[in-house]
Amino acid sequence: MSTVRLAADKDSGVAVVTLERPARLNAVDLDMVRELTGIWRALRFDDSVRAVVLTGSGERAFCTGIDRDVVVPQPSSPYMLDDPLLTVGPKANGLWKPVVAAVRGMACGGAFYLLGECEFVVADPTAVFFDPHTTYGMVSAYESMLMAGRMPYGEAARMTLMGTAERLSARRAHEIGLVSEVTEEGGALAAAVRCAAVIAGYPPEGVQGTVRALWAAKEAARAQAFAQAPHLIALGNLPAERQTELFRGRDRTEPRTR
């Protein structure tokens, strides 16, 4: 069963990539990693697609990161870390066509690997952003690094350090620049497609060169930060069984949204 749906409109030049695990809040499993990687790489060769929209199926979530049931074997050395999410985004697969994210509901944790590699984010009013890592004894490394490049440092620090206690609303995300537009309820996908269609109507060489230039502006800092992430995770993460205990005993009260 497919975990990602690709729909391309040859007339507009826009492809919509939809995460299709709504029953699991579009959490990423290893099948989804493989399918997304394949789609991004295939789109490199499809000249009829000039812009892409990335969204999630259902009303509850855009994506909630890695599925907690996924088991990723890890080497014992703190100098080596296997993270399947590192290959889940368009830039990681060499796709320099513009990607616009349409977010409805929750976007948290590993979802930031995807949002961090999109050009901009259009959000439904129901969108909320948060990072649960610290709550469950895990280091937010790649996620915090990517978000520090998309929003003011203090806001990225607050979101990643507050864990599940606080959620960033679409309104607040727009105020700080993480989100470029907040639509009417249910309108994020249509608005993102409209933006993508405008971009797709321009000469692709100039568009793709601009995407590459924008990414180059922050690529060196990102690469240096990412080099530190495996060690920070290996040293700072609690053992998996202790993380599970914290997850099972989590506070079920409604988190504060700002």
Query: In this structure, what token pair is assigned to residue 143?
Result: 């996620």
Cross-strand pairs, 228: none
Mean pLDDT for the chain overall: 94
The beta strand positions in 32-180, using DSSP E, are 51-56, 61-63, 99-103, 106-108, 120-123, 128-130, 166-169
**What's the pLDDT score for residue 250?**
83
Q: Quick check: 72 pLDDT over 70? A: yes
Give the model's confidence band at 168: pLDDT under 50 very low, under 70 low, under 90 confident, else very high.
very high
The beta strand positions in the chain, using DSSP E, are 4-9, 14-19, 51-56, 61-63, 99-103, 106-108, 120-123, 128-130, 166-169, 181-182, 256-257
Please choose, from the candidates 31, 21, 192, 12, the residue with its C-alpha nearest in 3D space to the C-alpha of residue 118.
192
Q: How many CA atoms lie within 13 A of 189 on its CB side?
A: 15
b/e string for 106-120 if b means 16 or more Cβ within 10 A? bbbbbbbbbbbbbbb
The CATH class of the 4-184 domain is alpha beta
What are the residue ranges spanned by the domains of the chain?
4-184
Alpha-carbon dihedral sign for residues 212, 16, 88, 151: positive
**What's the pLDDT score for residue 247?**
85
pLDDT in tens, 97-113: 999 999 999 999 999 99
Q: Of 253 and 16, which is predicted with more confidence?
A: 16
- Residue 183 sits at the vertex; the CA angle it makes with 88 and 154, to the nearest 5 degrees, is 60
Alpha-carbon dihedral sign for residues 159, 160, 166, 171: positive
27, 88 Cβ separation under 8 angstroms: no
Please choose, from the candidates 138, 51, 154, 161, the residue with its C-alpha nearest in 3D space to the C-alpha of residue 95.
51
Rounded-to-integer distance, Cα 48 and Cα 224, Å: 35
Question: Of the given ranges (24-33, 116-125, 242-251), which has the lowest mean pLDDT?
Answer: 242-251
**What's the pLDDT score for residue 217?**
93
Which residue bears the tokens 């349409």?
Answer: 102
b/e string for 76-98 if b means 16 or more Cβ within 10 A? eeeeebebbbeebbbbebebbbb
